[in-house]
Amino acid sequence: MAHPLPIENLVWQVGRQVRLRRAEHAGVRGAFWGAAVAALVLVFKGPLGALALGLAAGLVAAGTLAGVAWGLARRVGAGDAARVADRAFALDDRVATVLEWAERPDRTPLVDALVADTLARVRALEPRRIVARVLPREARWLPVPAVAGLLLLLSPPVPMPAGGLPDFLPSRGEEEREGRADSTLLEERTRPLAREPLKRAMLEERDFAQRAGASGAASAGDLAAIFKDTSLSGRRPDFNSFLKKGDERLKLLERVDRLPDLQSDFTSTAYKMVFRKSKALTSGLRPDQISPQKLRELLEEMERLGRKGGSWSGEAAEGMEALEGGQTDRALEAMQRALDKMRAMDEAQRSGKGLRGGRERDRGARGRDRGRGEGVGPEDQDFGDFDGLLPGRGRSPTPKGEATSRLRSTPYDAGVEGESRRGRKDGYDTNLTGRGSPMGSRLQYLGVIGQYRKLMEDAITREQIPREYHDQIKGYFQALDER
Amino acid sequence: MSQEERAQAFVGAFQALRAEVEKVIVGHGEIITHVLTGMFAGGHVLLEGVPGLGKTLLIKTLAEGLELSFSRIQFTPDLMPADIVGTNIIVEDADGRKHFQFQHGPIFAHILLADEINRATPKTQSALLEGMQEGSVTVGGASRPLPAPFFVLATQNPIEMEGTYPLPEAQLDRFLFKLRVRYPALEELNAIIDRTTRSRQVAVHRVMSGPTVLGFRELIREVPIASHVRDLASAIVMATHPQWELAPDVSRRFVRYGASPRGAQALVLGAKVRALAEGRYNVSADDIKALAAPALRHRIILNFEGEAEGVDTDTLIAQIVERVEATSAERKEPFLR
């Protein structure tokens, strides 16, 4: 069964409308690009003359025509046109289905009913434009090349720069002089510049005194005449003496350590700065590959920082001595020790509510001695009267909580019970309860915990423990203290 | 009778059956249409909704409007497969000889109402699988055909999770449509009260027989569908698959598994019924879009992100359909969109 004529007509008309709209669309695009090229051509109106106008007009026309031709020439598929018609006339895909199914061999009897129904609906349609006009993006910008072209057309020709390279051949200049000998006017205008022999650049020490003259007599053109009546006119600047005396600012510049390092982060500590420098110095290098000069600078820096209030000046000085003796290994070890001390101090400063209490911190030198590991023992532990560390002291006068009843009732559970002990130094004796109680362990809890806390602090200071774990470890010991 | 006359007869029968059901059921017009669509497409329908919305009444009324046998199974946790399909029992004849005789289960009916299907164990639920797909059940090694047309209408309650067994995906896929029964509007609720609290009962007339239904099922399969409409259905189903290269972002983000080919079949068959019921002899893109949600909502499995964000499958499908249409339009030049 062939497609009914009205349906084919509808599809053809829609296809024609699509082609026309497409031609409009492409024509505007072509006009834009043609006008753009035409404007460019009109820039060369001077050299091209009247030809430019014709060329520009031709380009605009050619662009437009090419676009229109392309839009008209492209075919519109019948299926596409049918779908456009279905949508535009609210035919619920009837036309597209008829076009597809009317000639199929496997068409069902219901297709005949569909064709008849669609035919009736198409006949009832009133022809109208259903394809909307779509303007390209170029349409908005079309006035730009058009106006530019018009302005170029009306304005005088754009002056073109004279082409050609200068002639460096000497004979050419003579030929020109000969050729133009009869025209003095031309000669005047085009007289070549007097060629002076190029002087070699020389460094000359200028003697201003000579120029000014010993007698002070001024000659024409002499700059010293300006200073004739001033004391400056006879003074000879002595840069050497200026440098010898030195300017205060220059002196300041010499003291590198006093200069603010604008590149550094002032929120970071001295330890971090030194640590970064040491890492930068030593990373990936063997001791014999390290620059002694840079190592010396770093040790000097550390020594200087140590003098300001640290305890690592000795190590830094030792490192410098070793470096003087050519012992880079020893210098590096000394630097590492000094770094460890810096880190310890940095840690202590940052953790204001650290494990060591305020009283301990107040002790100053003694605290530092303990930091070096001297005189540490259970008897030396003084836990102070600051809050939160000891049972029976400070804010918490009683031991916090009792051992749970479960610990007491279940013989298979092991636990630690404590009792406070009064005396010269308060203590907290612990007993093992549960199954392990016959072992009779009696350790002074506070003495033991003090030792372990000290070891913990040393470990945090010396070993490569990730920064994130520091607070966690300290929190654990803090919790033990509170208990 | 010409095909055109048959088509007109179908339109009339569809409207008449719908009118009979609407005598009893207030509102739920879309649900009734989709149930009838599922029946004429030859599929089974799952209705999901909270108790008291009239799901069971709708199905019972539909059965009353058809000259077809009807049985109802109330699914409970202790229901066994033999309670559904039947079993061989020993009987003694007049001569005193004993032999096995098959006792038909309630599945042997034209319309089966599986009430609260998710309350039975998966083993019992699966007893329906063969019947729904093949139209026959196998008992004691013998395959027994079910009466045609065979139409399962199942209900389930979405909010009660305790003591329920959510239907497995294979079982869900057997349902042509999954319909969500919403709460009625105020006017509908007033009409329900008026209609159900009177002494006079509404009589439902039988408007269609089994062979008529089968004849209409044949007719529906003859409805032509244009290739671009079929392509739209395929693209929608494919777009539910996050692995598809042209899948929209919503699918990639929220979907774990997309709809099966059964989903595409359901979409096209349902669209054919819808077209013919509206007196059209061809499937349109609107038919496909209208049936995307009921045909696909139970075939899409959300991923963890989708579950966690509480993505609604209907909204997801609507976005997928919108994206598919936009993508196909973007590929065409402006004049042909």
Chain centroid to CA A110: 69
Same domain? For B203 and B227 the reply is: no
Domain end position, chosen among B183, B217, B251: B217
Q: What is the CB neighbour count within 10 angstroms for residue A92?
A: 22
Same domain? For B205 and B323 the reply is: no
Domain end position, chosen among B193, B217, B241: B217
Q: What pLDDT sits at residue A260?
A: 54
Note whether residue B247 is domain-resident.
yes
Q: What's the average model confidence in pLDDT over B111-125?
A: 90
A167: pLDDT confidence band, cut at 50, 70 and 90?
A: low
How far is the CA of B234 from the CAs of A123, A348, B241, B242, in angstroms?
33, 70, 11, 15
Q: What's the average model confidence in pLDDT over A195-218?
A: 45
Same domain? For B213 and B144 the reply is: yes
Note whether residue B88 is domain-resident.
no
User: Which residue in the block uniquely carries the two structure tokens 């002595």?
Assistant: A238
Which of B216, B281, B289 has the highest number of chain A CBs within 10 A, making it the mutation to test binding with A? B281
Query: Percent helix, strand and coil across chain A, each rounded to 5?
Result: 60, 5, 35
Q: What pLDDT sits at residue A146?
A: 86
Q: What pLDDT sits at residue A418?
A: 56
CA-atom Rg of chain B in angstroms = 21
Chain A interface includes B35 (CB < 8 A): no
Same domain? For B212 and B265 the reply is: no
Q: How far apart (Å, rounded) are the C-alpha atoms in residues B187 and B207?
A: 28
The C-alpha of B194 sits at a distance from chain A's nearest C-alpha, in angstroms, of 40
- Does B225 sit within 8 Å of A80, measured CB to CB? no
Nearest to B300 by CA among B267, B229, B251: B251
- Does B226 sit within 8 Å of A100, measured CB to CB? yes
A290, two tokens: 């390290």
- Does B4 sit within 8 Å of A93, measured CB to CB? no
% pLDDT > 70, chain A: 56
Q: Which residues of A touch B7 (CB under 8 A)?
A: 110, 113
Least confident of A13-22, A234-243, A470-479, B55-64: A234-243
Total of domains in chain B: 2
**Does the pLDDT of residue A368 top 50, yes or no?**
no
- Does A111 sit within 8 Å of B226, measured CB to CB? no
Contact B275, B246 (CB under 8 A): no
Same domain? For B269 and B303 the reply is: yes
Q: How far apart (Å, rounded) are the C-alpha atoms in residues B104 and B110?
A: 13
Same domain? For B204 and B271 the reply is: no
Which residue range forms the structural domain that includes residue B330? 223-336
B267: pLDDT confidence band, cut at 50, 70 and 90?
A: very high
A321, two tokens: 């001595």
Q: What pLDDT sits at residue B239?
A: 95
φ, ψ (nearest 5 deg) of residue A143: -60, -25
CATH number, domain at B7? Answer: 3.40.50.300
ipTM of the complex: 0.82
Q: What pLDDT sits at residue A434?
A: 56
Contact B215, B222 (CB under 8 A): no
Chain A interface includes B284 (CB < 8 A): yes
CATH number, domain at B328? Answer: 1.10.8.80
Q: What is the CB neighbour count within 10 angstroms for residue A99?
A: 21
- Does B219 sit within 8 Å of A110, measured CB to CB? yes
Note whether residue B121 is domain-resident.
yes
Q: Please tell me which residue of chain B has the smallest CA distance to A93.
A: B284
A201, two tokens: 């650049």
Same domain? For B189 and B71 the reply is: yes
Q: What is the pTM of this model?
A: 0.58
Domain end position, chosen among B217, B247, B271: B217
| Strand, helix or coil for residue A22 | helix
pLDDT digits (tens, 9 = 90+) for A432-442: 555 555 554 55
Same domain? For B179 and B229 the reply is: no
φ, ψ (nearest 5 deg) of residue B83: -70, -20
Contact B102, B86 (CB under 8 A): yes
Contact B111, B72 (CB under 8 A): no
Same domain? For B143 and B59 the reply is: yes
**Residue B125: half-sphere exposure toward Cβ, Cα within 13 Å:** 23
Chain centroid to CA A377: 53
Q: Pairing mode, if any, of strands A427-433 and B151-156?
A: unpaired
Same domain? For B269 and B197 the reply is: no
Same domain? For B258 and B162 the reply is: no
Same domain? For B21 and B143 the reply is: yes
Q: How far apart (Å, rounded) are the C-alpha atoms in residues A148 and A155?
A: 10
φ, ψ (nearest 5 deg) of residue B63: -65, -35
